[in-house]
Amino acid sequence: MSDAVAPRALPDRIPNRFRFWKRWETILFGVAVIIFIFDAFVSPHFLNPFSLSDATYNFTEQGIIAFAMALLIIAGEIDLSVASIVAIASVAMGAAATAGAQWPLLVVIALVVGAVAGAFNGFIVTYFRVPSIVVTIGTMSLYRGIAYVVLGDQVYRKYPAGFDYFGQGYVWWVFSFEFVLFLVLAVVFGIVLHRTVFGRRIYTIGNNPIAAQFSGVRVDRIRFLLFVLTGLMSGVASVLLTSRIASTRPTIATGYELQAVTMVVLGGVNILGGSGTIPGVVIAAFVMGLVTFGLGLINVPGIVQSVVIGTLLIGVIALPIVTARLFGRRRA
């Protein structure tokens, strides 16, 4: 791309009074508020704590995957196999549950399967030096293919008592377990990315892997760990989703990879790596949840909602670029 000709603008820490208002997160938060107000006007049922609580189910599972995906994309990689990892982990849980396993074992199985699937992605990417997009397009077919081979046209529906809490339980009042876990993980990922050495290294790798290597960052090890982490979070999402719908089909979580990537990119993470924040991804998750829930309230079918999400994705990214061009400023 021609971007490669000009040096890329690096994020800096120069204080600026207007900086806050120009930040991506601020713009996105404005969009979220507008959608919230719009939703409240179009449907009288929207401003009800219980319906708002229902709305969170639209994004928590994808959002949890998106946190790990954000780290991966900031490091300059991508994982398109996450939805298939959800499927394969769900199939493993279903098989174990049918054999009589209890819920603690099921959770362990899902997390282990997720981490192993992620580790396989990471191994192929780092050991053979193959672009992650190709590897994960391959494993996307492979993992979901295994789910099909195991399940065929069958369904697992026998899940033990207690397992339903993850996807259907409430911690307190209208706050579901899924939503609370989403918030907790948001804080954890935010701290890891923005307050630790490990987090800074992720940015370094994304901006310049060679310089990172020469600075003593163990690039491949961190890349590998990020793939394992993304697989692990897909395992977590698999527990939540399987528990919520209490069944496993090979088609489970279809399209989650696109929704997770959309959240990450909408959240201001540069798809080419090197910049982005967790708060941005959290707000993007809310934006997507509010949009789909609001459209659902006025009976817009799911497939048409995807038109809005797609337009939002392109529009939100194009808008600053187009306005900058209209006002005569040139972007670096």
For binding to another protein (CB under 8 A), which residues are involved? 1-5, 78, 124, 128-131, 133-135, 137-146, 148-149, 152, 209-210, 213-214, 250, 258, 261-262, 265, 271-272, 301, 303-311, 313-314, 317-318, 321-322, 331
Cβ 48 to another protein shortest distance, Å: 28
Give strand ranges (E) for the chain.
170-172, 175-176
| Surface-to-core class of residue 117, CB atoms within 10 Å of its CB (0-12 exposed, 13-18 middle, 19+ buried) | buried
- Distance of alpha carbon 324 from its chain centroid, rounded? 29
To the nearest 10°, report the CA torsion of 332, 75, 133, 266. Answer: -60
CB 123 within 8 A of CB 224: yes
Distance (Å, rounded) from C-alpha 277 to C-alpha 189? 10
Spatial CA neighbour of 190 closest among 78, 317, 287, 283: 283
Cβ 20 to another protein shortest distance, Å: 25
* Closest to another protein by CB, 199 or 250: 250
Distance (Å, rounded) from C-alpha 86 to C-alpha 232? 10
* Closest to another protein by CB, 150 or 183: 150
Cβ 162 to another protein shortest distance, Å: 32
Cβ 43 to another protein shortest distance, Å: 21
301-325 core/surface letters (b: 16 or more CB in 10 A; e: else): eeeebbebbeebbeebeeeeeeeee
* Closest to another protein by CB, 109 or 125: 125
* Closest to another protein by CB, 176 or 259: 259
Two structure tokens written together for 12? 């800096």
* Closest to another protein by CB, 239 or 253: 253
Q: What is the DSSP string of 137-178?
A: HHHHHHHHHHHHHHHTT--B----TTTTHHHH-EEETTEEHH
Cβ 25 to another protein shortest distance, Å: 18
Cβ 214 to another protein shortest distance, Å: 7
Spatial CA neighbour of 285 closest among 182, 199, 174: 182
Cβ 134 to another protein shortest distance, Å: 5
CB 103 within 8 A of CB 160: yes
* Closest to another protein by CB, 56 or 305: 305
* Closest to another protein by CB, 236 or 283: 283
Two structure tokens written together for 73? 């994309």
